[in-house]
């Protein structure tokens, strides 16, 4: 498996984007600095989306919100499953619902 490294700091990414916008190529920057040319291009595309220059993907804020909503949705599904099991257990214990009549 390949080596992984910590993500580059936002300020470093911003500087690379500024250098590309100033006329340097991602390939040239990749030779001079550590990130790959594709990483630099990805940062440029994301910066363009965040600034409204591109509309072919999600902005960073939209990605963060989507991630938060997915996490919240996963938590709510888990809670609903636990509550359904608890309700079925209590119903069996009190005898108000015969065994096997609920598929919750």
- Give DSSP secondary structure letters for 19-77: HHHTT--HHHHHHHSSS-HHHHHHHHHHHHHHTTS--SS--HHHHHHHHHHHHHHHHHH
Output the pLDDT for position 103.
57
Rounded-to-integer distance, Cα 86 and Cα 89, Å: 5
Q: Select from 39, 50, 44 the least CA-distant residue to 23.
A: 44
Output the pLDDT for position 4.
83
Output the pLDDT for position 101.
52
List the single range of 2-16, 31-45, 48-62, 90-104 with lowest mean pLDDT. 90-104
Exposed / middle / buried, residue 16 (Cβ in 10 Å: 0-12, 13-18, 19+): buried
CB 62 within 8 A of CB 56: no
Mean per-residue pLDDT for 64-90?
Answer: 97
pTM comes to 0.70
Q: Which DSSP state fits 95? A: T
Residues 17-72 have pLDDT tens digits of 999 999 999 999 999 999 999 999 999 999 999 999 999 999 999 999 999 999 99
């Amino acid at each position: 498996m390949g080596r992984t490294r910590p993500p580059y700091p936002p300020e470093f990414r911003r500087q690379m984007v500024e250098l590309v916008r100033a006329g340097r190529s991602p390939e040239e920057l990749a030779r001079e600095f550590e990130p790959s040319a594709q990483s630099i291009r990805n940062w440029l595309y994301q910066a363009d989306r965040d600034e409204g220059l591109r509309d072919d993907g999600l902005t960073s804020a939209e990605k963060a919100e989507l991630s938060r909503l997915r996490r919240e949705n996963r938590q709510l599904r888990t809670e609903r499953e636990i509550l359904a099991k608890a309700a079925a257990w209590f119903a069996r214990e009190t005898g108000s619902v015969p065994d096997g009549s609920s598929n919750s």
